[in-house]
Amino acid sequence: MLDKVPTGFPGVVQLLDWLELPNDILMVLERMEWSQDLHHLIRAQGFLSEEEARELFHQVLQAVWHCTSSGVLHRDIRPGNILVDLDTRQAKLIDFGCGTYLQDTAYTHFAGTWSYSPPAWTHFGWYYGKPATIWSLGILLHQIVCGEHPLRRGRKISWDHQLSLPQWLSPECQDLIRRCLSMLDFGRPSLEELFCDPWMQDIHLS
């Protein structure tokens, strides 16, 4: 799947070369000298400020859009699969092992991290790629600004738990998270709408 994504985009890890062996495939990927995955970055800081979160989230949206516009569905968007350059704060989407071709029809097989699976998969055993991606992005944003998974209770995922957001978050940020985590597919914004969301408009890119 990574080979299907056009190279040269800074928000997706670059596949430099690959070699097919008898029992394995050897992949040569770019390596950032001073980086940390977003999971450990959040754990170290507790949570990120909205300003920092906005810039990182914007970069992730660009990376996801780059993949989907190339017909690739990543299917495992989570903090552990996002590397952050600690000098430049450039984010890179990595690990396409759960990826597949993007399709308009429903998927009946799930690949990825179970705690990020969309409600449709849990309740019905099928899901649509684009709304499922928005769901995982909503969980990601919650983790960035709150420091925790919004639905995890210990080792379990509580689907009937009322989403409670801390008061320190701006109303715009709270609204964006709630929309992304709508239980219904049609209640979630599209990827294009996320770029135009009011909370995203305060971003300052160099």
Would you please indicate which residues are annotated as catalytic (active-site) residues?
76
Q: How many CA within 13 A on the CB side of residue 28?
A: 5
How far is 73 from 65, CA to CA, in rounded Å?
A: 10
Residues 64, 137 contacting (CB under 8 angstroms): yes
> In this structure, how many other beta carbons lie within 10 angstroms of the beta carbon of residue 196?
10
Which residues lie closer than 8 Å to 178 by C-beta, 6 or more apart?
Answer: 163, 165
Cα 71 from Cα 178, distance rounded (Å): 27
Q: How far apart are CA 24 and CA 44, in angstroms?
A: 35
The per-residue b/e assignment along 5-26, b for 16 or more CB within 10 angstroms, e otherwise, is beeebebbbeeeeeeeeeeeee
Dihedral in degrees, nearest 10, Cα atoms 25, 38, 138, 120? 30
Centroid of chain to Cα 62:
11
